[in-house]
């Protein structure tokens, strides 16, 4: 299972910012460091701001800073701010009618894996995965 590019980038951006959570990060710095397009990053930051994870500082020395502590931001919060997490909770084979009562060929094997993935996203905080300052993207 892979997260969408948007979810991956959201986690990368916030883990980069979590290295020093008190700093105000400019879009140009993040674009340069993480090799993202400016337009894509601004849309991503808007979603993260609307979710209350970061806030936007306007003005000459503006940028983005954390609104919540990275200790209290879980991976599920980040993913949920940019997409619907329910798409990862469905049938691994894509059957809309797959359920315990109407299982697909992989249903009973997948539900254990899916449960572990869900537990991971609900238990790992941003501060636990913050990016090393010199990591190459």
Give domain status of residue 133, yes or no. Answer: no
pLDDT for 134 beyond 60: no
CA dihedral in degrees (14, 16, 71, 45; nearest 10)?
A: -20
pLDDT of residue 13: 95
Number of structural domains, the chain?
1
CB atoms inside a 10 Å sphere around CB 5: 10
pLDDT of residue 130: 73
* pLDDT per position as a tens digit, 35-74: 999 999 999 999 999 999 999 999 888 899 999 999 999 9
As given in the structure block, the two tokens for residue 87 are 């798409």
Give domain status of residue 55, yes or no. Answer: yes
pLDDT of residue 137: 54
CATH number at residue 19: 1.10.10.10
Question: 6 near 83, Cβ under 8 Å?
Answer: yes
What range defines the domain where residue 17 resides? 5-128
* pLDDT per position as a tens digit, 1-33: 688 999 999 999 999 999 888 999 999 999 999
């Amino acid at each position: 299972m892979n997260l969408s590019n948007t979810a991956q980038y959201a986690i990368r951006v916030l883990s980069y910012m979590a290295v020093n959570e008190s700093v105000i990060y400019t879009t140009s710095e993040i674009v340069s460091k993480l090799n993202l397009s400016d337009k894509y990053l601004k849309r991503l930051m808007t979603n993260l701001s609307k979710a209350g994870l970061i806030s936007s500082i306007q003005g000459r020395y503006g940028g983005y800073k954390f609104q919540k502590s990275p200790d209290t931001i879980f991976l599920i919060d980040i993913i949920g701010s940019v997409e619907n997490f329910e798409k990862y909770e469905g049938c691994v084979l894509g059957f809309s009618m797959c359920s315990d009562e109407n299982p697909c060929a992989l249903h009973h094997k997948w539900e254990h894996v899916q449960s572990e993935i869900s537990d991971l996203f609900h238990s790992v905080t941003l501060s636990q995965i913050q990016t090393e300052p010199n990591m190459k993207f």
